[in-house]
């Protein structure tokens, strides 16, 4: 099982291309979840890492796993700044969303680059049901 890798310029107008490429290469029953997760991870890379600077890049990889699982990873170019927590801000729910939509997920790396990875296994619940769990404030069972 080979891994597909694509590198994109670190520009906001690339997010739809990243999402489309990813959805094209994953099973249809997880495409909605993958689209949301990749969009969130790539947007975070642009906002919070050197990937969003001129000449920055975002790398996306897709790897099929055993038993119908697929792993999608988004890699940025490392620390630029960490967002400050604010009680009344509109954002800040993206990692909760990723945790809710993925079967498993994690973050690796350090100052020179971070990789957010997420694994998906078939649609046990619809993405709307999973998002509803995030909005209620917690992870719901798969």
Report which of residues 41 and 86 the model is more confident about: 41
The rounded distance, in Å, linking the Cα atoms of 59 and 126 is: 27
Q: Which residues contact 111 (CB under 8 A, 6 or more apart)?
A: 78, 79
Q: Does domain 4-135 have CATH number 3.30.565.10?
A: yes
pLDDT of residue 49 exceeding 90: yes
Look at the block and give the residue holding tokens 């119908």. Answer: 68
**What pLDDT is stored for residue 110 in this prediction?**
86
pTM metric for this prediction:
0.79
pLDDT of residue 133 exceeding 60: no
- Average pLDDT rounded to a whole number, residues 28-40: 92
- Average pLDDT rounded to a whole number, residues 56-61: 97
The rounded distance, in Å, linking the Cα atoms of 17 and 23 is: 10
């Amino acid at each position: 099982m080979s891994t597909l890798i694509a590198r994109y310029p670190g520009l906001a107008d690339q997010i739809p291309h990243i999402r489309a490429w990813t959805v094209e290469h994953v099973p249809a029953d997880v495409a909605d979840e993958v689209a949301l997760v990749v969009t969130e991870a790539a947007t975070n890379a642009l906002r919070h890492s050197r990937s969003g600077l001129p000449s920055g890049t975002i790398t996306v990889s897709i790897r099929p796993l055993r038993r119908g699982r697929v792993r999608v990873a988004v890699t940025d170019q490392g620390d630029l700044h960490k967002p400050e927590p604010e009680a009344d801000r509109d954002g800040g729910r993206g990692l909760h969303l990723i945790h809710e939509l993925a079967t498993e997920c994690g973050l690796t790396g350090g100052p020179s680059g971070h990789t957010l990875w997420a694994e998906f296994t078939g649609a046990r619940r619809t993405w709307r049901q999973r998002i509803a769990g995030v909005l209620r404030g917690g992870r719901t069972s798969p």
